[in-house]
Amino acid sequence: PDRYAVIGHPIGHSLSPQIHALFARATGQRMTYEAMDGGAQPGGFEAALAAFIAAGGRGLNVTLPFKLRALAAAHAASDEARLAGAANTLRFDAAGRIEAHNTDGAGLVRDITARLRQPLQGRRVLLLGAGGAARGALLPLARAGIACLRIANRSADKAEALAAEFAPRLPGCPVRGMGLEQLAALSAPHEGFDIVINATSASLAAQSPAVPAPLLAAAALAYDMVYGAAPTPFMQAARAAGCPRQSDGLGMLVEQAAESFAWWRGLRPDTSAALVAVRAALQ
């Protein structure tokens, strides 16, 4: 069987082995998928990567804190990985050359459009946060045909810099950056958004980024990239504000896994059974 793995540090709670085992079984692929700890030592990731390739490994998923180093280690990279500045998926050819890709943003788009059935085409999108998670979503959101993108961040300068960097690369998709506190000056629904996506890590600290309630109320969907056993603080804030639909990011996790699987194996697994299984595993 062909060998795959996810590498991170820590890696113990990763759901990826379970997800890829389900995909492999459902599609009849002869493959193994394990979890590898890249360790905390300098060079630990690169050493584990080289050893995995030398042992005949075919591909890796990469998670925190190695996504930037995974891109740096690659000989070639997709547009998604280059613009995200990070790779969550690697594959290796027979000569040991490393190709990098990033499927996080495509996973987000797919979860919103296919599972939640919210079209992105022509929609106004508010993206909260200006870190790595937000960066990875920009190109796939623009390619999905959104009408415009507003990036709002606690530190306004980071959102403005990210918008300025991407504006020339996203033709047809006006991008603007601003501080979270400036959102209060927008009046929903005229200047409001159809979809609000939380790409901040605030939920990990049991907080929600401060978004004015009228903006949340006017949106059709509030999506948090973070997931957990209970609704995240951002989902709770959206619900309290009257937003009709909230989702956490577990579907994005399963969809990015499916995108990686397809990139490796050339066929796309069905994701609904895997999502049910990992949701049950979270409880």
Question: Which residue's CB is nearer to ligand ATR, number 132 or number 174?
Answer: 132
Question: Which residue's CB is nearer to ligand ATR, number 200 or number 271?
Answer: 200
- Cα–Cα dist 94/231, whole Å: 44
| Residues that constitute the known binding site | 14-16, 63, 79, 88, 104, 129-133, 225, 227, 249, 256
For residues 98 and 71, the answer to whether their CB atoms sit within 8 Å is no
Question: Which residue's CB is nearer to ligand ATR, number 23 or number 193?
Answer: 193
Alpha carbon 243 to chain centroid distance?
A: 22
For residues 243 and 216, the answer to whether their CB atoms sit within 8 Å is yes
Say what the alpha-carbon torsion angle 164, 170, 174, 179 is, to the nearest 10 degrees.
-40
Query: What residues act catalytically?
Result: 67
Provide, rounded to whole angstroms, the least separation between the CB of residue 114 and ligand ATR: 24
Provide, rounded to whole angstroms, the least separation between the CB of residue 28 and ligand ATR: 35
For 56, the 3-state DSSP assignment is coil
Question: How are the residues of the chain apportioned to helix, strand and coil, as percentages rounded to the nearest 5?
Answer: 45, 20, 35
| Residues that constitute the known binding site for shikimate | 14-16, 63, 88, 104, 227, 256
- Cα–Cα dist 48/35, whole Å: 12
- Cα–Cα dist 93/104, whole Å: 22
| Contact residues for ligand ATR, defined by CB under 6 A | 129-134, 153-155, 158, 200-202, 205, 207, 209
For 233, the 3-state DSSP assignment is helix
Question: Which residue's CB is nearer to ligand ATR, number 24 or number 183?
Answer: 183
Provide, rounded to whole angstroms, the least separation between the CB of residue 207 and ligand ATR: 4
Provide, rounded to whole angstroms, the least separation between the CB of residue 107 and ligand ATR: 15
Closest chain position to ligand ATR (CB): 131
